[in-house]
Chains A and B, each alone.
Chain A
Amino acid sequence: MTQFPAATIDEPSQDRTLVLNMGPQHPSTHGVLRLVLEIDGETVVRLMPEIGYLHTGIEKTCEAKFYQQVVPLTDRIDYLCPLTNNLTYCLAVEKLLGLEIPPKAQWMRVLMNELTRINSHLVWLGTHAMDLGAMTVFLYCFREREDILRFFEMVSGQRMMTSYFRIGGLALEPPLGFFEKVKKFADRFPGNVDEYEGLLTGNPIFLMRTKGVGRLSAEDAIALGACGPTLRGSGVDIDLRRDAPYTGYENFKFQVPLATEGDVFARYACRVQELRESIGIVQQALAGMPEGPVKADSPKVVLPDREKMKTQMEALIYHFKIITEGFSVPAGEVYQAVESPRGEMGYYIVSDGTAKPYRVHMRGPSYANLQALSKMCEGQLIADVVAAIGSIDVVLGDIDR
């Protein structure tokens, strides 16, 4: 069976090889990823990721916060899909509490989550193409990303660190005119994906840089813990939205894109197809958006509306209690997994019955995918390492936490 490289690369293992450092400040490592390569001429013999440059100790910080105060911290983990982090955390705490979420909040969560997926994939597509020398795609992708960031700003007031999902529902009702704007975007977006594909999918230079590069077999992908499009690009059919539905995904129809080649192009094909599937889910969510409240009816957990707080004594008391003392969560533990743009994002939360989580552990999809990188790059050229990094879509905030 395949094994992860055993040792840190300090010295060349042969006379003819050379140890080369790549990163942590390197334009194509997407953040502060550092790779140590052992090369023979242009060929990579061994590769070892060195991480920890962005470690901020979020897991430790969580243990000192009330449950509701952790939500803004989760935004900062995987900063390209903050809403998916919010969702995973909130679902986990709601599972601990046994809290039921109203339908409109669930559908809004699906809608925003899929917009986040598109947003994240657009950043990936733009930067991945730019790493391989295609500048134009980057500008096109960021044009559409800007629209999505405006939607985030509309609902939450923030473009990136949204904290829009709260324990028990949403922070606020979506504003007037929001659904019309999203609808206009969703109608236009498939045409935009055609544009990106027109620039890349048949482009001979892009094909030469991606086809047959960074191969990963299905067995290796599972053994090395790859997840998300990296796993599906190797032909393993798993998508948690379909296989373990959460927050109402069972009400939506969508396909799970698969590719069997396991190379950089296969992962590209999966993600581009996911863009189309996601916009389909957005269309369904817009068409079937139920009416009703966006917060659970649980005054001890969910903050009251501003208006009630100013007119009702009881609401004011609950508000004061939640802010100053938090709310206690029954003792127990849950592991909640969600399909993030990069794969399985899991939150493991242990409660000891107090108002602060005893332990919060985030299982980041990039952390898992990074271990597959060595296997992809060994025996390939140095230039292909850049293609392989782009194809697993690393986010260092998610790796180092």
Chain B
Amino acid sequence: MALASAITDVEQLKAHPALARLLAWNTPVVEAVKFDREELTIWVQKGSVREACAILRDNPACPFNYLCDLTAVDWYPSEPRFEVVYHLLSIPKKERVRLKAKLDGSSPAIESVTSVWPSANFYEREVFDLFGIRFTGHPNLKRIMMPDNWEGHPLRKDYPVEGYR
């Protein structure tokens, strides 16, 4: 089974319900798309992530009503350094989509989606704890895995695997 090459052309992918809805709502919000290994990724403008999530959740044709996962990737030392990754699932239609937002390395912050899905609460706290990305509007943004007085954010690439000794 050879790997098919990734599709990055918006025109070819706009039949997907998530992309179609976002384009119909506000075309400039979609920065880029990629269809690779049977999975669709949409890069969304970082200022519009919460609204885009709410739009997709309430999409009548295919409601992406379930937040599967929320995490981040650190691309240190390149800029924009962080990507926040949202995995959405439509329980009625069994469709999946991945949203991504790019953040700069200096004081990274993005709007919280806890008002769209209360389940984002723990995930955002985890990303805050391990990557140091702040989520504005989060009701209880504090460390969840590491002790409260911990220094640094362990999943950042400039944090050594063995920790600071």
Which of A's residues lie within 8 Å of B, judged by CB?
1-8, 51-52, 55, 57, 59-61, 63-64, 95-96, 98-100, 222-225, 236, 238, 243-244, 330, 332-335, 337, 344, 346, 348, 350, 358-359, 361, 363, 367-368, 370-371, 400
| Contact call A333/B41, Cβ cutoff below 8 A | yes
Other CB < 8 Å A-B pairs besides A98-B3, A361-B69, 5 of them?
A: A55-B146, A98-B2, A335-B39, A363-B69, A371-B121
Complex interface residues of chain B between 129 and 165 (CB less than 8 A to chain A): 130, 139-140, 142-147, 154-155, 159, 161
Quick one: which of B54-81 are within 8 Å of A by CB? 65-69, 71, 73-74
B135 to chain A, nearest CB (A): 14
Cβ A335 vs Cβ B69 within 8 A: yes
What residue in chain A is nearest B83 (Cβ atoms)?
A350
Instruction: Given A51-B145, A363-B68, answer yes or no on A225-B117 (Cβ-Cβ < 8 Å).
Output: yes
A-B contact pairs, 19 of them (CB 8 A): A4-B139, A51-B144, A57-B154, A59-B155, A60-B154, A60-B155, A60-B161, A61-B161, A64-B161, A98-B1, A225-B119, A333-B36, A335-B68, A348-B69, A359-B73, A361-B69, A371-B121, A371-B122, A400-B145
Whether B68 lies near A337 (C-beta < 8 A) is yes
A348 touches B117 (CB 8 A): no
A4 touches B146 (CB 8 A): no
A350 touches B39 (CB 8 A): no
Report Cα–Cα, A363/B91, bound state, in Å.
17
- In the bound complex, how far is the Cα of B123 from the Cα of A7, in angstroms? 15
B85 A223 Cβ-Cβ under 8 A: no
Interface of B toward A, CB cutoff 8 Å: 1-3, 6, 36-37, 39, 41, 65-69, 71, 73-74, 85, 87, 91, 94, 96, 98, 114, 117-119, 121-122, 130, 139-140, 142-147, 154-155, 159, 161
Q: Cβ of B39: which chain A residues have Cβ within 8 Å of it?
A: 333-335
Query: Which residues on the B side are within 8 Å of A61 (C-beta)?
Result: 161
Query: Are B73's CB and A350's CB within 8 A?
Result: yes
CB distance from A102 to the nearest CB of B (A): 12
Assembled-state Cα–Cα distance A346/B39 (Å): 14
Name the one of B2, B36, B87, B144 contacting A52, with C-beta atoms under 8 angstroms: B144
Provide the residues of chain B in CB contact with A236, threshold 8 Å: 91
- Report whether A332 and B37 are in contact in the complex, using a CB–CB cutoff of 8 Å: yes
Interface centre among A95, A330, A361 (most CB of B within 10 A): A361
- Min CB gap B96→A, angstroms: 7
Q: Is the CB of B66 within 8 A of A52?
A: no
Give Cα A370 to B144, complex, Å: 13
B94 touches A243 (CB 8 A): yes
**Residues A335 and B96 in contact, CB atoms below 8 Å apart:** yes
Specify which chain A residues have a CB less than 8 angstroms from the CB of B67 in the assembled complex: 225
- Output the nearest chain B residue to A48 by Cβ-Cβ distance: B140
If A55-B145, A358-B73 touch, whether A335 touches B117 (CB-CB below 8 Å) is no
Interface centre among B39, B91, B122, by most chain A C-beta atoms within 10 angstroms, is B122
- Verify B94–A244 contact, CB threshold 8 A: yes
Q: How far is the CA of A390 from the CA of B96 in the complex (A)?
A: 30
Closest to A347 in B: B69
Q: How far is the CA of A6 from the CA of B71 in the complex (A)?
A: 20
Q: Looking across the interface, which residue of chain B has its beta carbon closest to that of A96?
A: B37
**What residue of chain A has the Cβ atom nearest to residue B121's Cβ?**
A4
Min CB gap B152→A, angstroms: 12
Sorted nearest first, the 3 A-B pairs with minimum C-beta distance are: A225-B119, A6-B139, A98-B3
Alpha-carbon distance between A329 and B114 when the two chains are bound, in angstroms: 35
